[in-house]
Amino acid sequence: MSNMKESLAGIREEFDKSMEAVKDSAAAEQIRVAFLGKKGKLTQVLRGMGELTAEERPVIGKIANEVRSHMENALSDVQAKVKAEERAHKLRREVIDVTVPSSMKGAGARHPLNMAINEISEIFLGLGYSIAEGPEVELDKYNFELLRIPEGHPARDTQDTFYFNDNVLLRTQTSGMQIRIMENQKPPLKVICPGKVYRSDALDATHSPVFHQIEGLVVDKGVTMGDLVGSLRLFAKKLFGEKTEIRLRPHHFPFTEPSVEVDLTCWKCGGCGCNVCKGEGWIEVLGAGMVHPEVLKNCNIDPEIYSGFAFGIGVERTAMGRYGIDDIRLLYENDVRFLEQFK
Ligand code: DAH
């Protein structure tokens, strides 16, 4: 029995010694297993209890229980202590100084197409126009039918697009907005409508299956072709400089009569002829005309009382001229090296 007393005292001493070196909870757990675990030192000593007499057993049992609770208490104390230390250390390590100024590397810039749309919009806002936007998924009647482009009309061939069904398509032009506006508002009207349009065109340096237009519409009493010319001339000068002139060429659009294509003096050479205007001195930028009386009638506006003009500006072409971009694809590739030049 004295043997076992000694062993228990020895275990306790050994335990206290190992505890001095404990620095983290893993080390404490190792000690727990080594002394109190199933194969631990205390358990092993207690296996010898069977050899004791009935009188000796409670004496040794009492000592063994004391040693066990001494170890358990010491372990739970040390676990609490190292856990608190570990937590404090973690908090110190993860501290964030919210007052440190950031490096702000990723500040973006406006896309050149949006810059062009904004610039053009500003000019027309200054002339008293308002801005309207409409759906890119459009009804056939707005995109074609009520603009006097019925089924089978040759103009539909040049404006093929994606059809969701017979009546719903991706709009090929913003001109449908003319109808939407005139259906909902009565003259006097002065509106521009910027937006995306879609055509089944192959992508090359000057064509894209998705591009942007800005539609313009003015309807009032006594609006004439002279008003159209004056407005477009002012637009051209504001956008490309005082020296810019416009040239009208007769054309045909089903929804205007008369219709014109409008050229601007070349923004690169100023009209002498260069590689940008292919020696012409002029660059085509928009289509325009006087709103066809039947289109007015389609929207319940009396052409005997009212008249109007409309125009459609190609945004890509204008942006390319305005910012010196020579390939339309640059506008859609989103290469930051290109886009960063417009900051
Ligand atoms: N929508 C025509 C096109 O995409 C452009 C156009 C021409 C618009 C004449 C107009 C206009 O408003 O009057 O080719």
Q: Which residue has the higher pLDDT, 168 or 84?
A: 168
Q: Is 186 helix (H, G, I), strand (E, B) or coil?
A: coil
CB 310 less than 6 A from any atom of ligand 1: yes
The predicted pLDDT at position 50 comes to 83
CB 288 less than 6 A from any atom of ligand 1: yes
**Is 343's pLDDT higher than 90?**
no
**Closest C-alpha residue for ligand 1 atom 12:** 311
Domain parsing of the chain, residue ranges: 2-93, 112-342
The predicted pLDDT at position 160 comes to 95
> For residue 136, what are its two tokens?
């890119």
Average pLDDT over residues 170-181: 98
Cα 288 to ligand 1 centre (Å): 6
Average pLDDT over residues 125-148: 97
The predicted pLDDT at position 194 comes to 98
CB 285 within 8 A of CB 263: yes
| Percentage of the residues of the chain whose pLDDT score is greater than 70 | 100
**Is 162's pLDDT higher than 80?**
yes
**Closest C-alpha residue for ligand 1 atom 3:** 173
Task: Assign domain 112-342 one CATH number from 3.30.930.10, 3.10.450.50, 3.50.30.60, 2.60.60.20.
Answer: 3.30.930.10
pLDDT in tens, 184-202: 999 999 999 999 999 999 9
Average pLDDT for the chain: 93
Token pair 């007052």: residue: 99
Confidence class of residue 322 from pLDDT cuts 50, 70 and 90?
Answer: confident
CB 173 less than 6 A from any atom of ligand 1: yes
DSSP string for residues in 284-326: EEEEEEEEPHHHHHHTT--TTT-EEEEEEEEHHHHHHHHHT--
**Is 106's pLDDT higher than 90?**
no
Average pLDDT over residues 201-228: 96
The predicted pLDDT at position 51 comes to 86
Query: Which ligand 1 atom is at minimum distance from the Cα of 287?
Result: 7
| Beta strand pairing call for 130-131 and 189-198 | parallel
Token pair 């449908």: residue: 176
Q: Shortest CA distance to 159 belongs to which of 197, 113, 206, 214? A: 197
CB 113 within 8 A of CB 331: yes
The predicted pLDDT at position 72 comes to 92
CB 144 less than 6 A from any atom of ligand 1: no
- Strand partners for 211: 197
**Is 114's pLDDT higher than 80?**
yes
Q: Is 147 helix (H, G, I), strand (E, B) or coil?
A: helix
**Is 97's pLDDT higher than 90?**
no
Out of 175, 182, 285, mutate this one to test ligand 1's pocket (max ligand atoms within 8 Å of CB): namely: 175
| Percentage of the residues of the chain whose pLDDT score is greater than 90 | 75
Q: Which residue has the higher pLDDT, 43 or 198?
A: 198
**Closest C-alpha residue for ligand 1 atom 7:** 287
Q: How many H helices and E strands in the chain?
A: 13, 10
Average pLDDT over residues 146-174: 96
- In eight-state DSSP terms, residue 195 is E
Q: Shortest CA distance to 180 belongs to which of 278, 171, 334, 39? A: 171
Q: Is 211 helix (H, G, I), strand (E, B) or coil?
A: strand
pLDDT in tens, 268-314: 899 999 988 889 999 999 999 999 999 999 999 999 999 999 999 99
**Is 49's pLDDT higher than 90?**
no
**Is 128's pLDDT higher than 80?**
yes
Q: Is 66 helix (H, G, I), strand (E, B) or coil?
A: helix
- In eight-state DSSP terms, residue 169 is E
Average pLDDT over residues 134-155: 97
The predicted pLDDT at position 305 comes to 98
Average pLDDT over residues 75-98: 90
Query: Which ligand 1 atom is at minimum distance from the Cα of 159?
Result: 4
Cα 213 to ligand 1 centre (Å): 9
Average pLDDT over residues 86-103: 88
**20-24, 51-55, 308-312: which is most confident:** 308-312
Residue 101: count other Cβ atoms within 10 Å of its Cβ: 5
CB 256 less than 6 A from any atom of ligand 1: yes
Cα 195 to ligand 1 centre (Å): 13
Cα 166 to ligand 1 centre (Å): 23
Average pLDDT over residues 13-34: 90
The predicted pLDDT at position 212 comes to 98
The predicted pLDDT at position 24 comes to 86
> For residue 137, what are its two tokens?
């998924």
Query: Which ligand 1 atom is at minimum distance from the Cα of 178?
Result: 12
**Is 11's pLDDT higher than 80?**
yes
Average pLDDT over residues 204-231: 97
The predicted pLDDT at position 286 comes to 96
**Is 109's pLDDT higher than 90?**
no
